Amino acid sequence: MQHNKIPELTEAARKKFSQFRALNLEHGEAVAWETMLEGFPELQKQRMGTLLALPTLFEGFRAAVPYFSAIGMEMDVLDISNRGVDAVLEIQRFCPYLEVCREYGFETPCHIICEMDMEASHRAFPDMKGEILSRQAFGSPVCIFKYERPAKHQPEKPARRAES
């Protein structure tokens, strides 16, 4: 896939890394983190609300694939729902942030980009949990994110008849 839209992501990441670094130097990591999160959960609600309103996370995340493709990222989604839990794995094959984070003195982009996205999503949608299972920044071939929430609709099971 051509990563022709990546300059837009890279520029947004540069701003985020620069802002986090400045806040961190001035106020420390905890204040920098919370300051960067201000307004972010509301933005996540705007970005993801319609998608997460779909009956399953799989449907919502699959609907996001064209958006990620349009900005040059390669995303796959796997439905792992089970036992009353609506769950997906989001697999990102390309990380546009790996190089730019080093320009600002960060070892990996994970804390400032991915972990912050996860936290903002959780604050925006408290019933949804997210976890990073695999990171390209740590040598994995892909980044894998797991999202889960209670299933909205559980199919009704037919009543079992007692055997005679």
Residue 160 lies in a domain: no
Residues of the chain with pLDDT under 70: 1-5, 153-164
**What is residue 46's three-state secondary structure?**
helix
End-to-end CA gap in the chain: 61
Interstrand relation of 129-134 and 75-79 (parallel, antiparallel or unpaired): unpaired
Interstrand relation of 85-92 and 75-79 (parallel, antiparallel or unpaired): antiparallel
Residue 1 lies in a domain: no
Residue 163 lies in a domain: no
Residue 157 lies in a domain: no
**Angle at 69 (CA atoms; ends 44, 102), nearest 5 degrees:** 70
- Report the domain count for the chain: 1
Domain range spanning residue 23? 6-150
Residue 145 lies in a domain: yes
**What is residue 126's three-state secondary structure?**
coil
Residue 159 lies in a domain: no
- Dihedral sign from CA coordinates of 57, 52, 127, 114: positive
What pTM value is reported for the model? 0.85
Q: For the segment 107-118, what is each residue's pLDDT rounded down to a tens digit?
A: 999 999 999 999
Residue 156 lies in a domain: no
Range 44-53 contact pairs with CB under 8 angstroms and sequence separation of 24 or more: 44/117, 44/120, 44/121, 44/123, 44/124, 44/125, 45/124, 45/125, 48/121, 48/124, 48/125, 49/124, 52/125, 52/128
**What is residue 146's three-state secondary structure?**
strand
Residue 94 lies in a domain: yes
The CATH number for 74's domain is: 3.30.1380
User: Rounded CA gap, 49 and 123, in Å?
Assistant: 13
Counting runs of H as helices and runs of E as strands, what totals does the chain give?
6, 4
